[in-house]
Structure 1
Amino acid sequence: MKEIFKIFSVVILLAVAVVSCKQEFSPKPKAYPRVVFPERGYTLFSPAGCPFQFEVPSYANVVEDTIYFDKFIKGSCWYNIQIPKFNGVVNFTYKPINKDETLEKLIEDAHKLSFKHTKRADYIDEVVIQNPNKVGGLLYEVGGDAASNVQFFLTDSVHHFIRGALYFNNTPNADSMQPIVNFVKEDLRVMLKSFKWK
């Protein structure tokens, strides 16, 4: 009987040892790498042929967006404000308000595009934009692991409508990206406050 108990004990110990060794250990990082932010500074962006101007961060590059669904759209006043240091971009689109593109339709489109992120967002806050240059709109602050944490639209309510969205070329992770999002959001606020119609 003692012999059977010893054999049974050895078999149990071997089984536990084999089962416990199958999972590989992967240590979790204790912290995210420190982000070195660029020095703040702004330059005036006033594109020829477009009815607006505003200040952009000096660490950003502004590039005209000339392709829309594989179609060439030169002169559309659409721009990408590239942020190479953070692998990000603000997609910036301009549309004139007219009978086909009414203010109500453009605002509804901007609202729908912002709220498409509700599946991944923890929250979406709407902040009213009103600057002294007769420019109004809404800033959408999207919290959580959404693809775009900041979206906005600007208008004069009669002739002009602009929509923008901030994206980073990486997998959304609110924990690691939040300091960068906050930094860029401050510069976007400066941009929105400096916005003027020509």
Structure 2
Amino acid sequence: MKVTINFICFFLSLIFFSCSRGKELPKPFGHLRLAYAEPRFSNFEKPCAFKFQVADFSQIKNKERNCSFDIYYPRLKATIYLTYEPINQNLNALIDDAEKSVYEPHTSRASYIKPQLIIRPNEKVYGTLYELGGNAALNYQFHLTDSTQHFLRGALYFNAYPNPDSLAPAKDYMLKNIQHLMETLEWK
């Protein structure tokens, strides 16, 4: 009987002490799951040559130049920089400048640049939306014009390191806001 008790004690101690904990590893770094509420839009009207709708939670910041604005989204730390230029027989130069600001500085960092034409003939709104993928600092840029008097250019930047995986939900959300701005743009 004494042998069996010793054997059971030995066996239990062997099980208890043999299950040593291995090296504990830290949890891998993860990204937060970002879920954004559906935006409610309101009209943005200033004494400018255009009007459009923006999300209610965005903040409009005036620049020194007339009718050029920054639309800041504090929850996303994102800004759409808008620049308005009247056309004075310089439409080709304005379009060339807008395209250069997409392709020249970002070709080396962007994994792709995808242009999408915007054509709304009833409202006389024409332009291009550029999506830049990869590690480019610029995510979206667009320009809109009526081809005779008005030219509006916009660019979206996040105040964050350009990590495409972690910015993907915010980038998709901001694309919807930019598309809504372009769909509701009207020239005065």
Q: Name the TM-score, length of structure 1 as normaliser.
A: 0.78
Residue 39 of structure 1 is matched in structure 2 by 38
Matches within 5 A, 1:20-35: 28-29=28-29, 31-35=30-34
- Match status 1:150 vs 2:148: no
C-alpha displacement at 1:38, in angstroms?
2.8
C-alpha displacement at 1:65, in angstroms?
1.1
Matches within 5 A, 1:49-198: 50-66=48-64, 73=65, 76-99=66-89, 102-115=90-103, 116-131=105-120, 132-198=122-188
Q: How many residues align?
A: 162
The question of whether the paired residues in 2 share the 8 Å contact of 1:38 and 1:59 is answered with no
Question: CA offsets per residue over residues 10-37 of structure 1, 9 Å max, x none?
Answer: xxxxxxxxxxxxxxx87632x3111131
Query: What SS does the aligned partner of 2:85 have?
Result: strand
C-alpha displacement at 1:62, in angstroms?
1.1
Q: Give the structure with higher Rg (CA).
A: 2
CA distance, structure 2, for counterparts of residue 36 and residue 141 of structure 1: 22
C-alpha displacement at 1:152, in angstroms?
0.2
CA distance, structure 2, for counterparts of residue 108 and residue 26 of structure 1: 51
C-alpha displacement at 1:187, in angstroms?
1.4
The question of whether the paired residues in 2 share the 8 Å contact of 1:121 and 1:144 is answered with yes
The one-letter code sitting in structure 2 at the alignment partner of 1:44 is: N
The one-letter code sitting in structure 2 at the alignment partner of 1:46 is: E
Query: What SS does the aligned partner of 2:101 have?
Result: helix
| Uncovered stretches (5+) of structure 1, i.e. residues with no partner | 1-24, 67-72
Query: What SS does the aligned partner of 2:107 have?
Result: helix
Q: CA separation of 1:26/1:139 partners in 2, compared to 1, >3 Å: closer, same or farther?
A: same
C-alpha displacement at 1:194, in angstroms?
0.6
Query: What SS does the aligned partner of 1:86 have?
Result: coil
Q: What RMSD over aligned residues (CA atoms) do the two structures have, in Å?
A: 1.4
The question of whether the paired residues in 2 share the 8 Å contact of 1:152 and 1:165 is answered with yes
The question of whether the paired residues in 2 share the 8 Å contact of 1:125 and 1:141 is answered with yes
| Uncovered stretches (5+) of structure 2, i.e. residues with no partner | 1-24
Query: What SS does the aligned partner of 2:75 have?
Result: helix
Q: Name the TM-score, length of structure 2 as normaliser.
A: 0.82
